[in-house]
Amino acid sequence: MGYYNQTPNGRQPKPSHAGSFFAGVFGVLVGALLMWLLFSQAPGLLPGTESTNSGTQIQQQNREQQGASLDITTDVTKAVDEASDAVVGVSNLQTGGDFFSQSQEQAVGTGSGVIYKSEGDTAYVVTNHHVVDGASGIEVTLADGTKVDAQVVGSDIWTDLAVLEMSNEKVQGVVELGDSDALKRGEAVIAIGNPLGLEFSGSVTSGVVSGTDRAVPVDLDGDGTEDWQAEVLQTDAAINPGNSGGALVNLAGQLIGINSMKIATSQVEGIGFSIPINSALPVINQLEATGEMVRPAMGITLIDLAQVPSTYRDDTLNLTEEVTAGVVVSSVVPSSAADEAGMRQYDVIVEMDGEEIGDIIELRKHLYNEKQIGDMLQVKAYRNGELLEFELELTDNSTL
């Protein structure tokens, strides 16, 4: 078919054979060029190359679908590897049964513990007092699931610490002790334990040190009245029921705290507490050696001066503006060392044996780490704005 041109008089001209020829040739050339471009860009479409190139494409797709196998090691994984074998489960066994059935020991609660020492054929575990309280038997579950019978060597309700002993035949790891006094706010720490029981044994949570030298009120007998202020570290690493007695470690895998409790309300997130190892160690050593914790006592109850409202500082304590830190005597036990030395309610202790005392934790550290029962203690305290000196002969706290 040729091209037609319209003439002015309206008649159709005869077809042009030369135009038709050149149009056909042009079409063939354009078609050949398109085919060349197509096959040069997709050689797999050429006959004889389909199977080879399809195989190449399939191999490439397989390589893309295979995940890379990587051995990722971080400071956290190294610390967990160092410490995890020393973290155990601690089951509190108590005798149960009714009138018609034979009594037998049953697990009424499960917490955590840390193997801190292995000597001879005996391994020693530190845990919380409340984990083993009331137990007629103790069963320790090692990191590999092995169960070992253990005995309570000693327990201290005030610091919420207990020491267990057991055979070390199956023990695979002993934790290295760190220095909790060297911790900094914001330093990374890791909690290892058994939240909600042995089903989640060896669980790891991480966080930071939120605060050091915290004093947290504790009601020991459940009567709604504060009995003690626990000396603890604060962390945002998750500590759940069952983590009690477990390890808080630094990035070197060293034990720097014994996990103890958390604030559990709907308004609060990420506030957990751990007993600093430097505070726990004297208690652990004495429980291991004697089975009980006997402390030197002054015979007073205490409140941090920082917690006293300014109105009471002025009206009740009569302190000058220069006195910004110290410990207020809230009550004196009759016939105690403090009573016999002449100390009174509302005295504000600022110094012991020449060492400045800024809060309750510093007072207890000096009293429990530096003094023994029967020692003399030199105390300086403000009363109505006047600085007084007292000398106390420390007594056995169990006699109060």
pLDDT at 130 over 70: yes
pLDDT at 211 over 60: yes
The domain covering 296-399 belongs, at the CATH homologous superfamily level, to: PDZ domain (2.30.42.10)
**CA dist 55 → 42, 47, 62 (Å):** 15, 15, 11
Instruction: Please indicate whether residue 379 or residue 12 has the higher confidence score (pLDDT).
Output: 379
Q: Report the percent of the chain where pLDDT is more than 70.
A: 75
Look at residue 49 in the predicted model and tell me its pLDDT: 52
Residues ≥6 apart with Cβ < 8 Å to 114? 86, 87, 88, 125, 126, 127, 175, 245, 246, 247, 255, 258
Choose from 151-165, 197-211, 263-277 the range with maximum mean pLDDT: 151-165
For the domain spanning 187-290, the CATH number is 2.40.10.10
Instruction: Please indicate whether residue 238 or residue 208 has the higher confidence score (pLDDT).
Output: 208
CA 243 – CA 317 distance, rounded (Å): 42
Give the pLDDT confidence of 278-296 residue by residue, as tens digits: 999 999 999 999 998 888 9
Same fold, 187-290 and 296-399: no
pLDDT average, residue stretch 310-324: 89
pLDDT at 50 over 90: no
Grade residue 339 by pLDDT with cuts at 50, 70 and 90.
Answer: very high
pLDDT at 7 over 80: no
Q: Which CATH class is domain 81-97+104-167?
A: mainly beta
Look at residue 314 in the predicted model and tell me its pLDDT: 86
Q: Which of 156, 160, 213, 347 is catalytic?
A: 160
Is there a catalytic annotation at residue 130?
Answer: yes
Its pTM stands at: 0.69
Give the pLDDT confidence of 340-351 residue by residue, as tens digits: 999 999 999 999
Q: Which of 84, 130, 213, 347 is catalytic?
A: 130
pLDDT at 6 over 90: no
Reported residue count of the chain is 400
Choose from 220-229, 364-373, 384-393 the range with maximum mean pLDDT: 384-393
Is there a catalytic annotation at residue 91?
Answer: no
Give the pLDDT confidence of 70-94 residue by residue, as tens digits: 778 899 999 999 999 999 999 999 8
Is there a catalytic annotation at residue 160?
Answer: yes
Grade residue 328 by pLDDT with cuts at 50, 70 and 90.
Answer: very high
Alpha helices, DSSP H, located in 42-142: 50-65, 75-83, 129-132
| Percent of the chain as helix, strand, coil, to the nearest 5 | 25, 35, 40
Give the pLDDT confidence of 292-301 residue by residue, as tens digits: 888 899 999 8
pLDDT at 201 over 50: yes
**Beta strand pairing status for 137-141 and 147-156?**
antiparallel
Instruction: Give residue limits of the domains in the chain.
Output: 81-97+104-167, 187-290, 296-399
Q: Which of 244, 260, 274, 279 is catalytic?
A: 244
Quote the mean pLDDT of the chain: 83
Grade residue 145 by pLDDT with cuts at 50, 70 and 90.
Answer: very high
